[in-house]
Structure 1
Amino acid sequence: MPPTPTPARTHHLLPTPAGRTHAVQQGRQGPLVLLLHGFPESWHAWRHQLPALAAAGYRVVAIDVRGYGRSSKPESVEAYRMLDLVADNVAVVEALGERSAVVVGHDWGATIAAVSALTRPDVFRAVGLLGVPYTPPGGPRPSEVFAGMGGEGAGEEFYVSYFQRPGRAEAEIEPDVRGWLAGFYAALSADTMPAPGAPDPHFVGAGGTLRERFPAGVLPSWLGERDLDVHAGEFERTGLTGALNRYRNMDRDWADLAGYAGAPITQPSLFIGGARDASLAWLADAVKAYPETLPGLCGSHVLDGCGHFVQQERPDETNRILIDWLASLPA
């Protein structure tokens, strides 16, 4: 028997509170799996998962989060608060004619997926988190936490605080989007990240830029020139403000989600991280707390020799873990 052909990939613009959300679908039948990318990427970050999950029998949809790619980009900073992104995800599910979905996210997408599952368990029946562990809402105000995260040198500023001031990061990135993205991806990937003891690329020196700490002239093995062109082309067209506005709403999210302080996610869940991803070091306590915060956890996988971009650095292993997990979920 000839092999079953992989379902075709189709693009859609779906009505959502953002305006319209660009969704890329592969597979027309089977349970719906919604994929959410992180910063600074697009649906294209899931290019390896779309065909694999579709071939495994799932209806897989990767979106451009509002502010990215071909999705709408509301003007106000406040339009990028977390609950607005959750509303977009619910609307995508409804626009596809479904009542529920499994939601999987990477980086910021992991946090958006987690809050989607937390606040709308009626829609999101399971959640997969890649790169960024789940931390329940609550605790100190985020801006105060990040302001207190100094680097090794005097006057160093954590990248999240750097991103929070409108216009500052745009002024660094937008004159050379492609070059900046190449350096950012290299700085967080296992095979190209700075050596131990080098200036930490997650911090900005006094009067400096993030880019001056990025590796130069090298691409990580998972990123081809053509894939870099895809990401750069989208941001050259849209600018970075929509993407960066996610960082500018963290205090608003803290207030919006106060009613969920300390709340666990009870649906079936999955975590996949890279052993060389700084997020795991910063959030080690969050991983230790999984028995309380993710009581439905089906598996927690830390991939040796992997950096931040889990599903792109290690696509085959990520696909296998995702497919096994999806197959284990209740119908």
Structure 2
Amino acid sequence: MTGETFDPASYLAGLEDAARVIRAPMPHGGSMVWHQWGAGRPVFLMHGSFGAWTHWTKNIPALVAAGYRVIAGDTPGLGDSDPPPDDWDIYSIGKLVAGAIEHALAPGERFHLAGFSFGGIVGGQAVQALEDRCDGFIVVGSNALGVRLNEARPDLRKMRSTMTPEEMLHVHRHNLGVIMFGDHGRIDPLALHIQQRNTRKARIRSNTIPRGDSLATVLRSIRVPVTGIFGEKDATAGPYMQDRRDVFEPLQHCRGFHLVEGAGHWAQYERPDLVNPLLLQALAR
């Protein structure tokens, strides 16, 4: 997906045009938006902070080709979804997502869910609420595990309205390199376009939620099969990756904890060649 002739905006537009858009009403008003592709067993995908369904751009085609119905969401307050109530927290937003999942499913239909970063934290709340219908939960690079976060990394740069488009692009490249990628050489035009598009639409922040233990609490309470996938060079984990392994592997329902060679936090984008087989392996169980 690189080269002079590749147009990131056109590529995303084509993927979006191929989707069925589902708008799930929320109790307080507005709707949560899903994009759905394919047919077969449903797999829900939840994205990270300041993100949208586009965080899964390099994984959706592979899952659809494998015969799954892929339903990728925009968390309330992010992407094209309407915002949650002003007093939202991880528990209330998890309930909104659980309700939106039920809206997208047929009565009694079962599902898998994969959540990246903040999407794994939010998705965990939804999985807990719908545990009796969930066949598997895949966590990709999520925190809120009650373990140490890596504080020794360069600061993210802020966008300013006075910046030129070139200066803004430079900021996006810097921030992707700091937090999302293990190999800065893999930051391609599509990644920059996705980052620019998603950050413009973001109306909520995850704030201190990743520093808590809400996901760890969910993982220890549910009996849904769980798989952990983390980039080997995840900047949010830094030298504390073993702490994450120590949360997952003791779980009786853990089906594997995988490190993705050379990948940073956004492992499923940076190394789809390694992550897509892991996703399909977890879904097949």
| Structures share fold, TM-score greater than 0.5 | yes
Indicate the residue corresponding to 2:9 in structure 1.
none
Residues in 2 aligned to 1:274 and 1:38: alpha-carbon distance in whole angstroms? 14
Matched, 1:285 2:243: yes
- Residues 202-237 of structure 1 show CA distances to partners (whole Å, capped at 9, x for unaligned) of xxxxxxxxxxxxxxxxxx42432x44234313433x
Residues in 2 aligned to 1:40 and 1:16: alpha-carbon distance in whole angstroms? 20
TM-aligned CA deviation for residue 312 of structure 1: 0.3
- Residues 134-159 of structure 1 show CA distances to partners (whole Å, capped at 9, x for unaligned) of 727xx9xxxxx98xx8759xxx9x98
Output aligned runs, 1:127-276, within 5 Å. Answer: 127-132=137-142, 135=145, 172-173=158-159, 175=161, 178-188=169-179, 189-192=181-184, 220-224=185-189, 226-236=190-200, 238=201, 240-242=202-204, 244=205, 246-247=206-207, 263-276=220-233
Residues in 2 aligned to 1:326 and 1:106: alpha-carbon distance in whole angstroms? 15
When residues 73 and 87 of structure 1 are mapped into structure 2, their CA distance, relative to the original with a 3 A threshold, is same
* Contact 2:118–2:143 (CA under 8 A) maintained in structure 1: no
Residues in 1 aligned to 2:276 and 2:218: alpha-carbon distance in whole angstroms? 32
Indicate the residue corresponding to 1:300 in structure 2.
257
Helix, strand or coil at the partner of 1:24: strand
Residues in 2 aligned to 1:58 and 1:92: alpha-carbon distance in whole angstroms? 19
Residues in 1 aligned to 2:140 and 2:81: alpha-carbon distance in whole angstroms? 22
Indicate the residue corresponding to 1:92 in structure 2.
100
* Contact 2:144–2:209 (CA under 8 A) maintained in structure 1: no
CA root-mean-square deviation: 3.3
TM-aligned CA deviation for residue 116 of structure 1: 2.6
Residues in 2 aligned to 1:250 and 1:112: alpha-carbon distance in whole angstroms? 10
Residues in 2 aligned to 1:231 and 1:279: alpha-carbon distance in whole angstroms? 18
Kindly provide the amino acid, as one letter, of the partner of residue 131 in structure 1: G
Kindly provide the amino acid, as one letter, of the partner of residue 207 in structure 2: Y
Unaligned runs of 5+ in 2: 1-14
When residues 264 and 287 of structure 1 are mapped into structure 2, their CA distance, relative to the original with a 3 A threshold, is farther
TM-aligned CA deviation for residue 60 of structure 1: 0.6
Kindly provide the amino acid, as one letter, of the partner of residue 231 in structure 1: Q
Helix, strand or coil at the partner of 1:263: helix
When residues 121 and 24 of structure 1 are mapped into structure 2, their CA distance, relative to the original with a 3 A threshold, is same
TM-aligned CA deviation for residue 278 of structure 1: 3.0
Indicate the residue corresponding to 1:24 in structure 2.
35
Larger radius of gyration: 1
Residues in 2 aligned to 1:178 and 1:248: alpha-carbon distance in whole angstroms? 27
Helix, strand or coil at the partner of 2:138: strand
When residues 69 and 287 of structure 1 are mapped into structure 2, their CA distance, relative to the original with a 3 A threshold, is same
When residues 222 and 319 of structure 1 are mapped into structure 2, their CA distance, relative to the original with a 3 A threshold, is farther
Residues in 2 aligned to 1:261 and 1:131: alpha-carbon distance in whole angstroms? 16
Indicate the residue corresponding to 2:3 in structure 1.
none
Kindly provide the amino acid, as one letter, of the partner of residue 38 in structure 1: G
TM-aligned CA deviation for residue 24 of structure 1: 1.1
Indicate the residue corresponding to 2:58 in structure 1.
48
Residues in 1 aligned to 2:209 and 2:117: alpha-carbon distance in whole angstroms? 16
Helix, strand or coil at the partner of 1:83: helix
* Contact 2:178–2:235 (CA under 8 A) maintained in structure 1: no
* Contact 1:36–1:109 (CA under 8 A) maintained in structure 2: yes
Helix, strand or coil at the partner of 1:132: coil
* Contact 2:83–2:203 (CA under 8 A) maintained in structure 1: no
Residues in 1 aligned to 2:84 and 2:94: alpha-carbon distance in whole angstroms? 15
What number of residue pairs does the alignment pair up? 259
Residues in 1 aligned to 2:31 and 2:209: alpha-carbon distance in whole angstroms? 21
Residues in 2 aligned to 1:24 and 1:185: alpha-carbon distance in whole angstroms? 25
Matched, 1:113 2:77: no
TM-aligned CA deviation for residue 119 of structure 1: 4.2
* Contact 2:98–2:127 (CA under 8 A) maintained in structure 1: no
Residues in 1 aligned to 2:152 and 2:27: alpha-carbon distance in whole angstroms? 39
Residues in 2 aligned to 1:290 and 1:150: alpha-carbon distance in whole angstroms? 22
